[in-house]
C-alpha cells in the first residue's frame, strides 16, 4: 500500500527515511513516501482535508487547528518530544535592544517557531507586533542560513540540523534554548497525527505505520554513526554538523511514541498564555490514545503506558 507521510520542513524525519531504506515499512506492507508542506498551519490543512492522512506537526499549530475542529487527532509523539528549537541571531547581536526594528524569521506565521518567537521576545521585553518584523519563510525555509549570511534576517527560531549547519558557517549563534527551564522544558513538541476518516477506516494501517516509525527511531538511536552518515549524505552537509546536532538533541528524543498528558497540558497552557486559543481544550479532545494503548498493551510492568 502506497501512503504519503507529511512533514513540515525539508530536514524533518530523516530517521524515517533511513527506516524506509532499511525496509522497515515494506515489512509492514507499506510503501511510505514523505512529502514536505512547509509550515504548521499549512500542513494542518492537509491533514484536515485528507490530502495527507498521516504525518508530523508541532503541538502549537496542532492545538490551534484542533480547537477549530480540524478533522485529525494526535496519535503519538514524534521523535522530537521536547521543544528542541533555538533562538539564533547574527553574531554581532549582543543585547536585546539591538533587535528592535530587525527582521525575525519563523517557518511560517502560526507555526511552532512563530509562537516560540513571540514567547521569547515577550520574555525579553520586546513587543513582537511593534518592536520587530516577524516573517514566515515557507518554501524559502531551506535558504535560512544563506539569508543570515546575506543579512536579510537578524534572528530566527530554528531546529536541528539547521542550527549546527548555520553555526559551522558562521551565520549565527544561539541566544536562547527553547527547552531551557525558563521556556518549555517539559512541553510535548512534535507529534504524529492521523486524519479522522483514515483513522476510523484503516486503524490497522495506522498501527503498521507507527510500528515502522518507532522501529526506525529506535534503530537510529541505537546506530548513531550510521544515522550521522546517512543524514549527512542525504542532506548534503558535513558529518561534523550532523554529529553536533545529534549530540545536542539526544536528551529530548522519544523513540517509542508515548505521549505524556502533563507534557501536552503544558503545550495547551502555552498556547492559551500566548492568546493562540480562547479556551483550554481537554486532552481527550486532541488525542486518540487507542493506538499507543494497542501497541503497548502491557504483558508486564515494562509495557505500561505513562499517561
Domain count, the chain: 2
Q: Residue 51, by phi and psi: left (phi above 0), alpha (psi -120 to 50) or beta?
A: alpha
Long-range CB contacts (< 8 A, 24+ apart) of 246-253?
Answer: 248/84, 248/160, 248/163, 248/164, 249/80, 249/84, 249/160, 250/221, 251/82, 252/80, 252/81, 252/82, 252/83, 252/84, 252/179, 253/79, 253/80, 253/81, 253/217, 253/221
Global model pTM greater than 0.85: yes
Q: Identify whether residues 67 and 206 lie together within a single domain.
A: yes
What is d(CA 272, CA 274) in angstroms, rounded to the nearest whole number? 5
| Percent of the chain residues topping a pLDDT of 90 | 94
pLDDT of residue 307: 37
CA atoms within 13 A on the CB side of 85: 25
246: nearest Cα among 141, 159, 127, 143: 159
pLDDT in tens, 250-304: 999 999 999 999 999 999 999 999 999 999 999 999 999 999 999 997 554 454 4
Quick check: helix, strand or coil at residue 80?
strand
Residues 198, 63, single domain; the answer is yes
- Do the Cβ atoms of 192 and 75 come closer than 8 Å? yes
Query: Residue 282 sits in which domain range?
Result: 2-82+188-303
Query: Is 33 part of a structural domain of the chain?
Result: yes
Mind listing the pLDDT tens digit for each residue in 149-193? 999 999 999 999 999 999 999 999 999 999 888 898 889 999 999
In a shared domain, residues 76 and 204: yes
Residue 29 has pLDDT above 60, yes or no: yes
Asked if pLDDT for residue 106 goes beyond 90, the answer is yes
CA distance 271 to 180: 18
3-class SS shares of the chain: helix, strand, coil, % to 5:
45, 20, 35
Residue 287 DSSP symbol: B
The predicted pLDDT at position 155 comes to 98
**Which pLDDT score is estimated for 213?**
98
**pLDDT over threshold 80, residue 130:** yes
Q: Are 136 and 114 in contact (CB under 8 A)?
A: yes
Residue 276 lies in a domain: yes
Is residue 252 one of the residues assigned to a domain? Answer: yes
CATH code of 156's domain: 3.40.190.10
Confidence at residue 297, expressed as pLDDT on a 0 to 100 scale? 77
Per-residue pLDDT band for 305 (boundaries 50, 70, 90) equals: very low
Mean pLDDT within 89-108: 97
Query: What pLDDT, in 10s, does the model give residues 191-238?
Result: 999 999 999 999 999 999 999 999 999 999 999 999 999 999 999 999
Do the Cβ atoms of 6 and 37 come closer than 8 Å? yes
Amino acid at each position: 500500500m502506497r501512503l504519503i507521510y507529511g512533514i513540515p520542513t525539508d530536514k524533518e524525519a530523516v530517521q524515517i527515511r533511513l527506516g524506509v531504506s532499511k525496509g522497515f515499512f515494506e515489512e509492514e506492507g507499506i510503501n511510505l513516501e514523505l512529502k514536505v508542506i512547509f509550515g504548521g498551519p499549512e500542513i494542518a490543512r492537509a491533514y484536515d482535508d485528507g490530502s495527507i492522512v498521516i504525518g508530523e506537526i508541532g503541538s502549537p499549530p496542532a492545538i490551534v487547528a484542533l480547537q477549530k475542529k480540524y478533522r485529525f487527532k494526535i496519535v503519538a509523539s514524534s521523535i522530537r518530544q521536547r521543544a528542541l528549537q533555538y533562538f539564533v541571531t547574527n553574531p554581532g547581536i549582543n543585547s536585546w535592544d539591538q533587535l528592535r526594528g530587525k527582521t525575525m524569521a519563523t517557518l511560517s506565521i502560526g507555526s511552532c517557531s512563530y509562537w516560540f518567537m513571540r514567547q521569547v521576545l515577550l520574555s525579553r521585553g520586546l513587543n513582537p507586533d511593534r518592536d520587530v518584523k516577524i516573517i514566515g519563510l515557507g518554501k524559502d525555509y531551506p535558504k535560512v542560513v544563506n539569508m543570515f549570511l546575506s543579512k536579510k534576517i537578524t534572528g530566527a527560531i530554528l531546529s536541528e540540523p539547521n542550527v549546527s549547519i548555520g553555526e559551522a558557517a558562521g551565520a549565527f549563534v544561539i541566544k536562547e534554548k527553547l527547552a531551557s527551564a525558563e521556556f518549555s522544558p517539559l512541553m510535548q513538541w512534535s507529534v504524529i497525527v492521523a486524519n479522522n476518516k483514515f483513522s476510523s477506516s484503516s486503524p490497522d494501517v495506522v498501527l503498521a505505520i507507527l510500528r515502522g516509525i518507532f522501529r526506525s527511531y529506535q534503530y537510529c538511536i541505537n546506530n548513531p554513526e550510521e544515522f550521522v552518515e546517512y543524514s549527512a549524505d542525504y542532506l548534503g552537509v558535513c558529518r561534523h554538523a550532523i554529529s553536533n546536532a545529534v549530540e545536542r538533541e539526544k536528551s529530548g528524543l522519544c523513540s517509542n511514541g508515548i505521549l505524556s498528558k502533563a507534557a501536552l497540558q503544558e503545550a495547551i497552557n502555552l498556547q492559551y498564555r500566548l492568546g493562540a486559543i480562547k479556551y483550554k481544550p481537554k486532552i481527550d479532545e486532541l488525542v486518540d490514545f487507542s493506538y499507543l494503548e494497542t501497541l503497548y498493551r502491557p504483558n508486564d510492568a515494562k509495557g505500561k503506558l505513562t499517561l
